[in-house]
Amino acid sequence: MITDFWETILFGVAKYKSNAIAVHQQLHTKSAFTDQHFERWVSLFQSTIDALFFGDKAELAKQRAVSIATVMRIKTVHGSSPINIKNNQS
Ligand code: HEM
């Protein structure tokens, strides 16, 4: 699943057919994600890419990871509203 996802994201291979955001929205209802989880996820992802890869695709992977994590965070931690000051404090 995860490898299909990244092949699709980075190489345009139409392999991943599911919806990763929806999967994480489901997970969020079972055990809530926080902003800190996403910050940690992004930081570990970036350092792992830097340790193992270099080049255009490595840069693209890091950029896409940040954008997808941002959307996922907004759609889980912050409901679907990006501007939710109240939820921001949790
Ligand atoms: C706080 C951060 C995150 C946590 C704790 C987390 C946790 C998980 C867990 C537990 C699963 C397994 C779900 C299951 O099979 O029931 C999963 C699946 C997955 N995660 Fe994450 N995730 C995080 C962020 C992300 C981000 C930012 C991405 C993408 C950039 C991502 C991509 C995926 C994909 C592609 C799957 C497979 C989904 C599927 O079955 O179709 N995750 N994640």
Q: What is the mean pLDDT of residues 1-23?
A: 96
| pLDDT the model gives residue 17 | 96
Q: Is the pLDDT of residue 90 over 50?
A: no
85 Cβ below 6 A of ligand 1: no
pLDDT digits (tens, 9 = 90+) for 59-73: 999 999 999 999 999
Three-class secondary structure of residue 6 per DSSP: helix
Asked whether 5 lines ligand 1 (CB < 6 A), one says: yes
| CA 24 to centroid of ligand 1, rounded, Å | 6
Q: How far apart are CA 34 and CA 89, in angstroms?
A: 10
Q: Is 45 in the pocket of ligand 1 (CB under 6 A)?
A: no
Average the pLDDT over 45-60 and give the result: 98
